[in-house]
Chain A
Amino acid sequence: MPNALRKPWVGIALIAAVLVVAPLAVGASLGNAWVRVLDFAALYVMLALGLNIVVGFAGLLDLGYIAFYAVGAYLYALLCSPHFGIHWPVWAVLPLGALVAGIFGVLLGAPTLRLRGDYLAIVTLGFGEIIRIFLNNLNTPVNITNGPQGIARIDPITLFGQPLSRPLEFLGVGFSGVMLYYYLFVVLALGIVFVGIRLQDSRIGRAWVAIREDEVAAKACGINTRNVKLLAFAMGASFGGISGGLFAGFQEFVSPESFSLLESVMVLCMVVLGGMGHIPGVILGGLLLTILPEIFRQGAGPLQQALFGTVVLDPEALRMLLFGLALIAVMLYRPAGLWPEPRHRSEYKQ
């Protein structure tokens, strides 16, 4: 490798260039559907980074994380859509979503955080299901969530007066809506990465890791473990809340279906598969688990056509099947994840 490439700013510039050009290249070669996949990849990376604070840093197993995503999404949907005829400014609603999700995080965490790890997992899972069931059923007697039909015609996100859903021509280059969303999501994801890195290397971040490593010893060191855990919960939840709001504005539609337990599991898998507590690993996990299954979904049908002349297995089922097998295989061969923190790498070998 030439020496210049070792300097950090060269790497950063390269990554920045790739991030800027990616949607244009993908859009031109593969079409806007694939840019949309990139949008989702960025959203899931945000979610995974949020959950990483809870699971990766503080070691609290949360199986209902998607509930906070749902809270953010529905808050946006209710406050920016014709459903109630309310159209609040988007950039006020997004932070509000973070705040409300964070409050939900504290409300859930306060009574449950003293539970042992696996119990916490099951309570959070139950909480996730409760939220989904309420979303599904709060259309009677007063129609709040519009039930299983979900809420449609949600306001798109606007930036400097430009709705991101509308194409834009800039410096002679045409940007489609999904590309505009891409840039917004990538910028916000980078923001969350920044916050994550700063937190990790701080007094609070050390306290989280200390709790993960040995809670009793952390208490003896004078850490108020309850508050510090609540803080992790609230931080993770508010990241989920922001991502949810972005999701609602991007889709212009939300329904309870998007917030099933499988989604929570998916985000958790991104964190664990990538490398718990290691931000680059978590980003890798988020990207892999959004993009690979999509490639597979698009590719499996035609591939079977070409090989067997007919579609033998339902591509959707095949995709999930391979996802399941991949989870097992990765954990068996790399129990600490694909890209774990260097110092944890030897953990399993001992």
Chain B
Amino acid sequence: MDILLQQIVNGLTLGSIYALVALGYTMVYGILGLINFAHGEVVMVGALSSLTVIRPLAASGLPGPVVMLIGLAFAALVCMALGFSIERVAYRPLRNAPRLAPLITAIGVSIVLQQLAMLIWGRSYHSVPELLPNDPHDFFGASITEVQIVIIVVAAATMAGLMLLVNRTRLGRAMRATAENPAIAGLMGVDANRVISMTFVIGSALAALAGVLISANYGIAHYHMGFILGLKAFTAAVLGGIGNLAGAMVGGILLGIIEALGAGYIGDLTGGVLGSSYQDVFAFFVLIVVLIFRPSGLMGEKVAERA
């Protein structure tokens, strides 16, 4: 088996999911300049709430893809409502507050969501029913499962759809205008509050999708899965240049591949001194290096300090 190709396939799968989550961070950051710390937890809620629907339906014998779609739809609704409420309750009242205040409420929201999820779904790891055939296909010497194919294709299609939405629709134009300059956009008749709400709703829908996909990929979901995933996705967003949609996608996929390659080769590279348990180090290490040499990320615009 070709290890290099295999790691790239794995990395692409993981990276597609990072990219979906990273988009949520980057859209909010682009418009509000805020790190939506709770976004990772929204992914977790997406994964677990879809599971609530998927479990009984899967047992009823409906075809797997249908069950998955229903689960996804349910999760998307839950997450969209959640994202909308988070913005209204925890961020909107603080729009002109000191910079750290919304960050603290975001941390608060994230803790609350985690604990609520633990109370609702329990502490244990939930296994996710296999809805898609998980047989490996040979792909130039590497193996790729149908789940992986679905993840990559669905993520790519969703991102293409998002690009269309942002670049071709009225809402997209309003979003870009608000990101550029909320005050001026407001003068031009854009309802900034509505745009911001929509941004959260769209980002949360993507998060729900990511949650469903990642739990399908690993076959497992639990109440604290959102945290590290959110962290990685935020890293991906920064890597690509935060505020930049294409950057989030590139950053996500790149991070996924770097991690997979890192995990695959770190042992050989260091003569066995460092093992694959250092996978997470890779992500942060890359982040730090990129930020030092290209502080605005790979695709970010250089922002000159205004005098």
Question: A: which residues have CB within 8 A of B?
Answer: 55, 61, 111-112, 114-119, 121-123, 125-127, 129-130, 133-134, 136-137, 140-141, 216, 261, 265, 268-269, 272-273, 276, 313-314, 317-318, 320-321, 323-328, 331-332, 335-336, 347-348
Residue of A nearest to B228 (CB): A129
In the complex the two chains form, is A320's CB within 8 Å of B307's CB? no
In the complex the two chains form, is A114's CB within 8 Å of B115's CB? no
Q: Which residues of A contact B280 (CB under 8 A)?
A: 129, 133
5 tightest CB-CB pairs across the interface, nearest first? Answer: A327-B108, A126-B284, A324-B111, A324-B112, A335-B97
Residue of A nearest to B305 (CB): A216
Segment 1-54 of B: residues with Cβ below 8 Å from A: 29, 33, 35
Residue of A nearest to B288 (CB): A123
Partner among A261, A269, A314, A348 whose Cβ is within 8 Å of the Cβ of B104: A269
In the complex the two chains form, is A348's CB within 8 Å of B272's CB? no
Q: Which residues of B contact A326 (CB under 8 A)?
A: 108
Partner among B35, B98, B107, B116 whose Cβ is within 8 Å of the Cβ of A347: B98
Partner among A125, A317, A324 whose Cβ is within 8 Å of the Cβ of B110: A324
In the complex the two chains form, is B115's CB within 8 Å of A324's CB? yes
In the complex the two chains form, is A116's CB within 8 Å of B108's CB? no
Question: In the complex, what distance in Å separates the CA atom of A348 from the CA atom of B109?
Answer: 22
In the complex the two chains form, is B98's CB within 8 Å of A336's CB? yes
Check: B105 CB closer than 8 A to any chain A CB: yes
In the complex the two chains form, is A269's CB within 8 Å of B112's CB? no
In the complex the two chains form, is A265's CB within 8 Å of B277's CB? no
Question: In the complex, what distance in Å separates the CA atom of A118 from the CA atom of B242?
Answer: 10
Fill in one digit per residue for B280-298: 1 if any A CB lies within 8 Å of its CB, else 0. 1101110110011001000
The contact sample of 21 A-B pairs, CB cut-off 8 A, is A112-B291, A122-B287, A123-B288, A127-B284, A129-B280, A130-B284, A133-B280, A133-B281, A136-B277, A216-B305, A216-B307, A314-B119, A320-B111, A321-B112, A324-B107, A324-B109, A325-B112, A327-B108, A328-B112, A335-B98, A347-B98
Q: Which residues of B contact A317 (CB under 8 A)?
A: 115, 118-119
Q: Is the interface of A mostly helix, strand, loop or mixed?
A: helix
Q: Which residues of A contact B103 (CB under 8 A)?
A: 61, 121
Partner among A116, A134, A348 whose Cβ is within 8 Å of the Cβ of B281: A134
In the complex the two chains form, is B98's CB within 8 Å of A269's CB? no
Question: In the complex, what distance in Å separates the CA atom of A259 from the CA atom of B101?
Answer: 24
Residue of A nearest to B306 (CB): A216
Question: In the complex, what distance in Å separates the CA atom of A141 from the CA atom of B292?
Answer: 31
Fill in one digit per residue for B84-121: 1 if any A CB lies within 8 Å of its CB, else 0. 00000110011011111111110111111011101100
In the complex the two chains form, is A126's CB within 8 Å of B288's CB? yes
In the complex the two chains form, is B112's CB within 8 Å of A119's CB? no
Partner among A114, A323, A335 whose Cβ is within 8 Å of the Cβ of B295: A114
Q: Which residues of B contact A137 (CB under 8 A)?
A: 274-275, 277-278
In the complex, what's the smallest C-beta–C-beta distance from A288 to chain B, in angstroms? 14
In the complex the two chains form, is B90's CB within 8 Å of A335's CB? no
In the complex the two chains form, is B90's CB within 8 Å of A328's CB? yes
Question: In the complex, what distance in Å separates the CA atom of A234 from the CA atom of B97?
Answer: 29
Check: B162 CB closer than 8 A to any chain A CB: no
Question: In the complex, what distance in Å separates the CA atom of A55 from the CA atom of B235?
Answer: 22
In the complex the two chains form, is A126's CB within 8 Å of B119's CB? no
In the complex the two chains form, is B284's CB within 8 Å of A112's CB? no
Partner among B90, B242, B272, B285 whose Cβ is within 8 Å of the Cβ of A130: B285
In the complex, what's the smallest C-beta–C-beta distance from A128 to chain B, in angstroms? 9
Q: Which residues of A contact B142 (CB under 8 A)?
A: none
Question: In the complex, what distance in Å separates the CA atom of A122 from the CA atom of B291?
Answer: 10
Residue of A nearest to B35 (CB): A118
In the complex the two chains form, is A269's CB within 8 Å of B107's CB? yes
Q: Which residues of B contact A320 (CB under 8 A)?
A: 111, 114-115
Residue of A nearest to B280 (CB): A133
Can you name 12 extra interface pairs (CB under 8 A) apart from A130-B284, A328-B109, A336-B101?
A: A112-B292, A121-B103, A122-B35, A126-B283, A130-B281, A136-B277, A137-B274, A137-B278, A141-B272, A216-B307, A273-B104, A348-B97
Question: In the complex, what distance in Å separates the CA atom of A187 from the CA atom of B296?
Answer: 45
Q: Which residues of A contact B275 (CB under 8 A)?
A: 137, 140
Q: Which residues of A contact B242 (CB under 8 A)?
A: 118
Residue of A nearest to B94 (CB): A335
Check: B201 CB closer than 8 A to any chain A CB: no
Residue of B nearest to A119 (CB): B291
Question: In the complex, what distance in Å separates the CA atom of A320 from the CA atom of B280?
Answer: 26
Question: In the complex, what distance in Å separates the CA atom of A126 from the CA atom of B89?
Answer: 28
In the complex the two chains form, is B305's CB within 8 Å of A121's CB? no
In the complex, what's the smallest C-beta–C-beta distance from A307 to chain B, in angstroms? 17
Q: Which residues of B contact A327 (CB under 8 A)?
A: 104-105, 107-108, 111
Question: In the complex, what distance in Å separates the CA atom of A327 from the CA atom of B105?
Answer: 6
Question: In the complex, what distance in Å separates the CA atom of A122 from the CA atom of B297?
Answer: 13
Q: Which residues of B contact A265 (CB under 8 A)?
A: 107
Question: In the complex, what distance in Å separates the CA atom of A321 from the CA atom of B277?
Answer: 31
In the complex the two chains form, is A272's CB within 8 Å of B288's CB? no
In the complex the two chains form, is A328's CB within 8 Å of B288's CB? no
Question: In the complex, what distance in Å separates the CA atom of A321 from the CA atom of B115?
Answer: 6
In the complex the two chains form, is B108's CB within 8 Å of A126's CB? no
Q: Which residues of A contact B235 (CB under 8 A)?
A: 122, 126
Check: B234 CB closer than 8 A to any chain A CB: yes
